[in-house]
Amino acid sequence: MKFRQTALNLAMMTAMVSSPVLAQNKPTVYFIATGGTIAMKIDPVKNAPVPAISGEDLLATVPDIGKYATIQVNSLSNVPSDYMDPPRWIQLTNAVQAALDKPEVAGVIVSHGTDTLEETAFWLDLTVKSSKPVVLIGAQRNASSSDFDGPRNLLNAARIAVDSKSSDKGVMLAMNNQINSARYVTKTHTGNVETFNSGQFGIMGEAYPDRVMYAYTPVRRLHIPIVTGAMPQVDIVPMYGGADGASLRSAVDRGAKGTVVQALGMGNMNESMFEGVKYALSKQVPVVIATRVHNGRVLPNYGFAGGGKTTFDAGAVMADDLSPAKARIMLMLMLQSGVSSKSQLQAAFDR
């Protein structure tokens, strides 16, 4: 009996010693936690999810992650992603870039709320410069749920971050075993765990139990350095049946340095909104035309007053296939870098 107890104690001591050694032999991945549903639990008083757990807490729910990587945690913030804004994006870019610049870091994981996850992914894809992978994750179910999807997404993100095939893929979003590119990914369902997809271009890869598999590498990418501490104001104005253009003129009068019109179809609007576009352009405020349609490009096609060709001829920029939210980010970053002419902006959106 005494011999068995001694052997058991020795085994426990060996396990305690060998576990850190095992982790030290794995690639280092930086994990930046920013909040969102993945960091929420049910508050017993409010009976609703609220920010509650840190990056370290989330990491503790995934004990198997040590098989793949040594994780360094930075609990940068714990806010709903609805609170994300340019100052927080700048802070996040700096944190991600600083981590990637460390030779020992193989990649970065960012946990984030799903509501603006696609915007943050595109922002980082434009502002971070590295061949190393950046993997964004979130969760549709909070940490109080019995089927919490956060741990699986974090484990898959670690596997993706250390996989040699993940180099030069840009910023990726990994949830529900699927990998989407930052440019095209969008949230498509309010509650389903399979909420993110990339429309007609499809997911770029999947995380299977045995390996990470990629179908393609994104080619439409652009790097825009951050050169200022404060981003210019850029507003999105929606076009809808009966819109009068007042919101667009008001945005300009309130000091917007750029505007994005969420137009219809290939980039069309009525005459009242078209007058608003011409008003903005007369004030030297760039206007980018995007569409509320989920797939396809905006084009200078239709020639009626307010059609895409008329707004383009008046001086507006076509957002190509970027969503209004992502077109806003592109315009904001181009303006802060000193680019404001139609030709230069159009060239950036066409890349």
Show the CA angle centred on residue 109, arms to residues 106 and 113, nearest 5°. 170
Instruction: Give the tens place of pLDDT for each residue, 184-199.
Output: 999 999 999 999 999 9
Position 224 in a domain = no
- Which residues are catalytic, by number? 37
At 88-133, the pLDDT tens digits run 999 999 999 999 999 999 999 999 999 999 999 999 999 999 999 9
Find the angle CA(131)-CA(72)-CA(175) to the nearest 5 degrees. Answer: 65
**β-pair type (196-197, 186-187):** antiparallel
Which tens digits make up the pLDDT trace of 220-269? 999 999 999 999 999 999 999 999 999 999 999 999 999 999 999 999 99
Q: Does some domain include residue 228?
A: no
**Domain boundary, last residue among 184, 214, 244:** 214
Instruction: Please state whether the predicted TM-score (pTM) of the whole model is above 0.75.
Output: yes
Reference 279, options 237, 232, 225; nearest CA is 237
Domain match, 209 and 315 both: no
Total of domains in the chain: 2
For the residues of 2-36, what is the DSSP string, one character each?
Answer: HHHHHHHHHHHHHHHHHHHHHHHTSPEEEEEE--S
> 213 pLDDT exceeds 60?
yes
- The pLDDT score that the predictor gives to residue 25 is 85
309 is a domain residue: yes
110 - beta bridge partners?
Answer: 32, 136
Q: How far is CA 336 from the centre of its chain?
A: 20
Q: Which domain holds residue 308?
A: 234-350
Q: What is the mean pLDDT of residues 307-323?
A: 98
- Are residue 199 and residue 276 in the same domain, yes or no? no
Decide if 281 is inside a domain.
Answer: yes
Same domain, 113 and 174: yes
- Angle formed at CA 256 by CA 252 and CA 257, multiple of 5 degrees: 115
CATH number of the domain enclosing 195? 3.40.50.1170
At 17 the pLDDT is 35
* Mean pLDDT across 287-303: 97
Domain end, chosen from 162, 182, 214, is at 214
Please check whether residues 37 and 128 belong to one and the same domain.
yes
Do 86 and 180 lie in one domain? The reply is: yes
Say yes or no to pLDDT of 82 above 80: yes
